[in-house]
Structure 1
Amino acid sequence: MAHSTTQIELGSKAHHFALLDTVSDKLVSLDDIASPNATVIMFICNHCPYVKHILPELVQLADEYQQKGISFVAISSNDAQIQPLDGPEEMKMLADELQFPFPYLYDQTQMVARHYMAECTPEFFVYDGHKRLAYHGQFDGSRPNNDVPVTGQDLKQVLDLLLDHKPVNMQQQPSVGCSIKWRVQ
C-alpha cells in the first residue's frame, strides 16, 4: 500500500549521522558527504516497487549532478528481519549491480530515519550549502503503472535552483512509496 509523507519545516538543520556504507564497509557521516552547494539525502531500499521504478534514472541523475558539485547519499532504514531483501549484503549487491555513484548506508538502529522523520521509500531531503532543508518531497510524478515517464523533474528543478542561488518553490509534492519497515519494539 502506498504511503505519503508529511511536511517537514523547510529551513530546519540536517541531523548528524554516521552509518555503515554497505559498499565500502566504512562509516560515512553527514560531514563526510556534505557539499557547499547542496546535499541530497535519500531514503530508499531494495524491495520497494516505487524505488525500483525510479532507480535507473536516479543513478543517472546523481551521476550528472555530482559533476556539478552536489553530493548524494542513500540510506536504507528498513528492518532486515521484516524485509530480508533490505539487509546490508543485498544492499551492497544492488549498489554494485547498478553502480551507485553514492554511498548506500544502512541505518540498522533506525534512529537516523526517526531523526529525519522519514516515512517512506523513496523519500528525498535536499539541504543547501548551510545544511538547511530546502526541499522535502518526491523525485517526480511517476509511479509504477501510472504511465508518467520517470524524469526526476522535481528533484532536478530544486537542484538547478540551488546551483543558480535562486529560492526554491515552497509548494513541494510529498514523496509516495512504501512505508519504512519499523522494527517491532
Structure 2
Amino acid sequence: MLLDTPVCDFGWKAPEFSLKDADGKLHRMSDHLTDKGLLVMFICNHCPYVQRIAERLAADTRQLMDQGIGVLAVMSNDYQRHPLDAPDNMKRFAAEYGFAFPYLVDEDQSVGREYGAICTPDFFGFNGKGELQYRGRLDDAKMADSADREAELLKAMGQIASTGQGPQIQHPSMGCSIKWRD
C-alpha cells in the first residue's frame, strides 16, 4: 500500500530509544545526536521504494555523516511475516548498498509507533537540540531517473546543521506501509 508521510511537526522532540543492529550491538539515539543534528529514517529491505533509492541514500547519508550529522536507520516491519526484512537480510542489504550508518532492528515495533512512522522510507531530520525540522522525501526523483535530481534531504539537513531550522517547504516521502503486527 502506497502512503505519504504527514507534514513536519516543527519542534517535536525526538524520543530516546535503544535498539540493536543485526549483529546485536546496542545503539542509543542520543549517542548519535550531534550538535549538527540527527537523521532517523525508517526503511526496510523488501520495499521497492527503498530498493530504488538505496544507492542514493547511501551516498547522501555518507555526505551527512562527513558533515558531522548523525544518521540512524530503523527497520520496524514485522519480519516474522516478511522474512526479507529479517536481521540477516538487513546485514546483506546494508552491505550490498554500502550503508555506513547503523541499521537497527525495532523488534517490538515500539520505536516506529512512538515516532509515528508511516511508510518506508520515512525520514525524520532533527536539529542539534533533538527538535524535528524535516519530514520530507530523499529527493524529487521518486522512482524515476535520478540524474538531475534535487537532493532535498541532503540540502535540508545541511540547512538544519548550519541554522538549526529546516526548510518551510517540504514534500512528503512516499513508500510502502510499515508492516505492523496485528
8 Å contact 1:140–1:150 — kept in the other structure?
no
Residue 107 of structure 1 is matched in structure 2 by 106
Whether 1:29 and 2:25 are equivalent positions in the alignment is no
C-alpha RMSD of matched pairs (Å) = 1.6
Whether 1:11 and 2:11 are equivalent positions in the alignment is yes
Moved more, 110-119 or 93-102: 93-102
Letter in 1 for 2:157: L
Moved more, 146-155 or 37-46: 146-155
Residue 142 of structure 2 is matched in structure 1 by 143
1:33-112 residue pairs with structure 2 within 5 A?
33-112=32-111
8 Å contact 1:57–1:152 — kept in the other structure?
no
Residue 173 of structure 1 is matched in structure 2 by 171
Runs of 5+ consecutive residues of structure 2 not aligned to the other structure:
none
Write the distance in 2 (CA, Å) between the matches of 1:152 and 1:52.
Answer: 19
CA shift, 1:94, in A, is 1.2
3-state SS of paired residue (1:164):
helix
Moved more, 87-96 or 151-160: 151-160
- CA-to-aligned-CA distance 1:90-140 (integer Å, 9 cap, x gap): 101111222211000000111100110001000100000000001111111
Moved more, 166-175 or 57-66: 166-175
Residue 20 of structure 2 is matched in structure 1 by 20
CA shift, 1:5, in A, is 1.5
Runs of 5+ consecutive residues of structure 1 not aligned to the other structure:
none
Write the distance in 2 (CA, Å) between the matches of 1:98 and 1:6.
Answer: 28
Identity within the alignment, %? 39
Moved more, 90-99 or 55-64: 90-99
Letter in 2 for 1:106: V
Return the TM-score normalized by structure 1.
0.92
- CA-to-aligned-CA distance 1:8-67 (integer Å, 9 cap, x gap): 421010011100111x42110112211110100010000001001111011111112211
